[in-house]
């Protein structure tokens, strides 16, 4: 099991101490959908903690290629269902960089984007 799998298992259990241990202290995590950038593991974990209680976290897919790991996770909270697509870079067995894109299920797509 790699650091990304341990991270998501810890997030599922809301075990934020274990989640933080999967990242370097100065890991950079970006959320481009909100423009947020977390430059410290504690800030990233705190963001997860502040988003409230999750009813269910279901990791649907993890794909690994060397030190690069991709994840698709579905999270249900009191307001609905979120999808997270993320790419993580590992170094020495821990996460040092990631990009996570979150979207609420059923949100209308931006104008100008048509279905193919």
pLDDT 10s digits, 39-67: 999 999 999 888 767 778 889 999 999 99
- Opening angle at CA 78, ends 70 and 99, nearest 5: 20
Q: Are 67 and 90 in contact (CB under 8 A)?
A: yes
How many percent of the chain have pLDDT more than 70? 91
Question: How does DSSP classify residue 115?
Answer: -
What pLDDT digit, counting tens, does each position of 22-36 carry?
999 999 999 998 999
Phi, psi of 57 (to 5 degrees): -125, 120
3-state secondary structure of 15: coil
Predicted local confidence at residue 59, as pLDDT: 93
Query: What are the structural domains, with CATH classification, of the chain?
Result: 3-104 (3.10.450.50)
Contact between residue 82 and residue 105 where contact means Cβ atoms under 8 Å apart? yes
Q: 32 by DSSP, 3-state: which?
A: coil
| Inter-residue contact 52 to 65 (CB < 8 Å) | no
Residue 12 CB neighbours (<10 A): 16
116 has a pLDDT exceeding 60: no
């Amino acid at each position: 099991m790699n650091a990304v799998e341990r991270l998501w298992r810890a997030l599922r259990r809301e075990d934020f101490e274990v989640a933080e241990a999967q990242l370097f202290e100065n890991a950079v995590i970006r959320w481009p959908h909100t423009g947020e950038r977390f430059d410290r593991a504690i800030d990233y974990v705190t963001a997860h903690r502040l988003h409230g209680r999750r009813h269910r976290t279901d990791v649907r897919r993890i794909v690994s290629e060397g030190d690069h790991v991709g994840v698709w996770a579905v999270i249900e909270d009191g307001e609905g269902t979120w999808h997270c697509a993320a790419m993580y870079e590992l170094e020495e067995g821990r996460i040092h960089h990631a990009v996570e894109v979150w979207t609420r299920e059923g949100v209308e797509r931006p104008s100008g984007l048509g279905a193919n």
